[in-house]
């Protein structure tokens, strides 16, 4: 173990272990029908369209998460950038006559490098992965769209996730519950019939809408 954890790199190995732990937790939560990522987004995001973060933490989150990626993805990017920067710093320092830097100096330098890298990577990933964009469009614009359940089943309990495509061909991942009296399995087509405060209500898509919208609205 001592040959792997070189002097001054323990914090960076810990960051990698945390990344692995986050992945395991997210996988287990999805198997149980929930999503840690969705819960974190719900906790850190404004509850109504147009509402903004306030306070020092909110300002930092807004700046760091400029691309609008999920909070869990943001944490993984930050930890990975921190670990890589730390290993590079210590490798360069160890190659010189002074040897490994003190922990506090290496950690400070790695964090200073990781923060702008995280912001840059966040903006790039936001162009690739679908995300909740209900603050960009009015919630009423999503009513009547047909999509697919990606995290379910949808019922009247904890929200799941549906994937839809808007009229501009932009893909959105939306938090949704099934309307009263319905249970909709993962992979099934849905019709969004209502929504408020970032949460949508869906019913199973009628057969005629399935045929006409298949492949057009995230189905």
**116 and 24 belong to one structural domain:** yes
Mean pLDDT score, 32-58: 49
Tell me the CATH number at 160: 2.40.50.140
**14 and 120 belong to one structural domain:** yes
Of 74, 92, 125, which residue sits at a domain end? 125
* pLDDT value of residue 165: 84
Q: What is the DSSP string of 7-72?
A: TT-HHHHHHHHHHHHHHHHHHHHHHTT--HHHHHHHHHS-SSTT----HHHHHHHHHHTTT---HH
Question: Which position has the token pair 């369209």?
Answer: 49
Res. 37: pLDDT tops 70: no
Res. 184: pLDDT tops 90: yes
Establish if 133 belongs to a structural domain. no
Res. 131: pLDDT tops 80: no
**35 and 116 belong to one structural domain:** yes
Mean pLDDT score, 4-29: 80
**90 and 172 belong to one structural domain:** no
Q: How many CB atoms lie within 10 A of CB 94?
A: 15
**91 and 150 belong to one structural domain:** no
**115 and 160 belong to one structural domain:** no
**112 and 19 belong to one structural domain:** yes
Mean pLDDT score, 136-143: 74
Lowest-confidence region among 43-47, 175-179, 180-184: 43-47
For residue 105, give both structure tokens.
Answer: 């100096």
- C-alpha dist (Å) from residue 66 to 29, 112, 127, 192, 197: 27, 17, 12, 29, 22
Q: How confident is the model at residue 135 (pLDDT cuts 50, 70, 90)?
A: very low
Interhelix angle 71-94/10-31, nearest 10 degrees: 160
Of 92, 125, 158, which residue sits at a domain end? 125
Q: How many CB atoms lie within 10 A of CB 27?
A: 11
Q: How many CB atoms lie within 10 A of CB 138?
A: 12
Nearest alpha carbon to residue 173 among 193, 207, 212, 145: 145
d(CA 161, CA 203): 13
Establish if 119 belongs to a structural domain. yes
Establish if 47 belongs to a structural domain. yes
The answer to pTM > 0.75 is: no
Of 125, 149, 174, which residue sits at a domain end? 125
Range of the domain at 180: 139-213
Task: Give 99's strand partners.
Answer: none
Choose between 19 and 31: higher pLDDT. Answer: 19
CB 154 within 8 A of CB 177: yes
First to last CA, the chain: 49
* pLDDT value of residue 46: 46
Q: How many domains does the chain have?
A: 2
Helix (H, G, I), strand (E, B) or coil at 212: helix
Establish if 193 belongs to a structural domain. yes
* pLDDT value of residue 133: 44
**88 and 150 belong to one structural domain:** no
Establish if 163 belongs to a structural domain. yes
DSSP category for residue 191: E
Q: Mean pLDDT for the chain?
A: 75
């Amino acid at each position: 173990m001592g040959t792997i954890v070189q002097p001054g790199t323990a914090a960076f190995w810990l960051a990698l272990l945390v990344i692995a732990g986050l992945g395991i937790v997210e996988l287990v939560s999805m198997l149980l029908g929930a999503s840690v990522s969705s819960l974190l987004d719900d906790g850190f995001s404004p509850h109504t369209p147009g509402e903004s973060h306030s306070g020092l933490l909110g300002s930092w989150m807004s700046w760091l998460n400029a691309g609008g990626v999920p909070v869990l993805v943001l944490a993984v990017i930050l930890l990975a950038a921190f670990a890589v920067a730390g290993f590079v710093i210590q490798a360069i320092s160890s190659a010189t006559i002074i040897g490994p830097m003190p922990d506090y100096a290496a950690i400070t330098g790695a964090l200073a490098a990781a923060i702008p890298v995280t912001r840059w990577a966040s903006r790039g990933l936001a162009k690739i992965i679908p995300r909740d964009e209900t603050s960009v469009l009015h919630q009423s614009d999503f009513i009547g769209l047909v999509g697919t359940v990606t995290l379910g089943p949808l019922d009247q309990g904890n929200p799941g996730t549906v994937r839809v495509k808007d009229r501009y061909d932009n893909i959105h991942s939306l938090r949704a519950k099934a309307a009263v009296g319905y249970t909709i399995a993962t992979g099934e087509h849905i019709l969004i019939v209502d929504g408020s405060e970032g949460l949508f209500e869906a019913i199973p898509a009628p057969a005629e809408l399935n045929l006409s919208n298949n492949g057009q609205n995230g189905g």
